[in-house]
Amino acid sequence: MGGGLGLLSPSHQIDLTVRQCEGREGLVNLATITEKIEADYIRGLIGFSTVCLPERVKFDDKLNVYWRVQATVLELCFPTPAKLLAFAPTKEKIVLIKKFGIVIIHAPWQGLSYFDNTGNTDQLIIKLVQLAKIFPVSGVIFHPDTIANFNGLEVIPLPVLIENASGDKKFGSTVEDIARIKRDYGVNFAFNIQQAWKSDPTMKLADEMILAMADRIRCLRASGQSGNDGQVPVHLADNYQEICQKLRMIPNVPVVLEGRLSGKVLTMAKNELSFVAKNGHPLN
């Protein structure tokens, strides 16, 4: 047993006369490895809304763009009742939709009032429920100022998300409104960072809304401001630092990018997703 070291080949024998910390300049530094891992670690649950591309772009083409840039989240956005009711996905479209790990639907918000006892929006609710049965839906976003009676949201079989409104809306743009909704109803939230910034560029309102929504935040929506345009991609926005800072505060929540894509849309989509994935991750 005493000759155990002799079993090692000359190249593997230990020279006890050499200090083991010497001659290691060429070895990889652990801190360097850690820094590289952190730099490469990006936010995974991120994708685009269908409104990022113009209406003239076919639905399948939109989804193919998002899929090619490795988006994992898809928002199907229907601004008007007519657009929602006209949406009849074929088997091929359903296959495309199901490629994305998380699917969110944005319910119509133009010119309507849900649960106002007129029955005018019943058809829309039925349609949303039908879609949620066709493919997995992680959340259905509603604007708070379109809800006449919030009790109606608690009885429909949908994963309801209430989105904070912009400052020009009658309801849903203040911390008090959000706190009241959370206190009185069992719904969750979609936090729109840009709309909070638009109401208060100091981002104090954003911080207060995050605290008010707390553990009920299920989705983040992100675009940015450039001049008078509040729906530009984050990586092209003047306020990208403020937007990304709030993204970093809320990890492990799906992010829907809603900035308009134009020009070479594949390149722009790739740049936007990559930028937000890296700069919006808490390790960066």
What is residue 32's predicted lDDT score, i.e. its pLDDT? 56
Assigned domain for 8 exists: no
Residue 169 reports pLDDT greater than 90: no
Residue 21 reports pLDDT greater than 50: no
Residue 22 reports pLDDT greater than 60: no
List pLDDT tens digits, range 109-123.
998 999 998 988 999
Residue 18 reports pLDDT greater than 60: no
Assigned domain for 38 exists: no
Closest-CA residue to 274 (of 64, 33, 46, 34) = 46
Which domain, by its residues, includes 189? 43-279
Assigned domain for 205 exists: yes
List pLDDT tens digits, range 232-245.
999 999 999 999 99
What is residue 252's predicted lDDT score, i.e. its pLDDT? 87
CA dist., res. 207 & res. 257, Å (int): 20
The angle at the Cα of 283, spanning 282 to 284, to the nearest 5 degrees, equals 90
What is residue 20's predicted lDDT score, i.e. its pLDDT? 43
Assigned domain for 265 exists: yes
Residue range 270-277: average pLDDT?
96
Asked if 127 and 84 count as a contact pair (C-beta separation under 8 A), the reply is yes
Residue 61 reports pLDDT greater than 70: yes
Assigned domain for 34 exists: no
What is residue 25's predicted lDDT score, i.e. its pLDDT? 44
Q: For residue 51, name the pLDDT band (cuts at 50, 70, 90).
A: very high
What is residue 13's predicted lDDT score, i.e. its pLDDT? 47
Assigned domain for 26 exists: no
Q: Facing residues of 163 across strands? A: 190
Assigned domain for 104 exists: yes
Assigned domain for 1 exists: no
| Average pLDDT value for the chain | 87
CA dist., res. 103 & res. 42, Å (int): 20
Residue 26 reports pLDDT greater than 60: no
Closest-CA residue to 251 (of 282, 284, 230) = 282
Asked if 127 and 89 count as a contact pair (C-beta separation under 8 A), the reply is no
- Return the CATH number at 172: 3.20.20.150
List pLDDT tens digits, range 186-225.
999 999 999 999 999 999 999 999 999 999 999 999 999 9
User: In this structure, what token pair is assigned to residue 273?
Assistant: 């997703």
Residue 92 reports pLDDT greater than 70: yes
125 or 230: which leads in pLDDT: 125
Residue 158 reports pLDDT greater than 70: yes
Residue 96 reports pLDDT greater than 90: yes
Domain count, the chain: 1
List pLDDT tens digits, range 171-191.
879 999 999 999 999 999 999
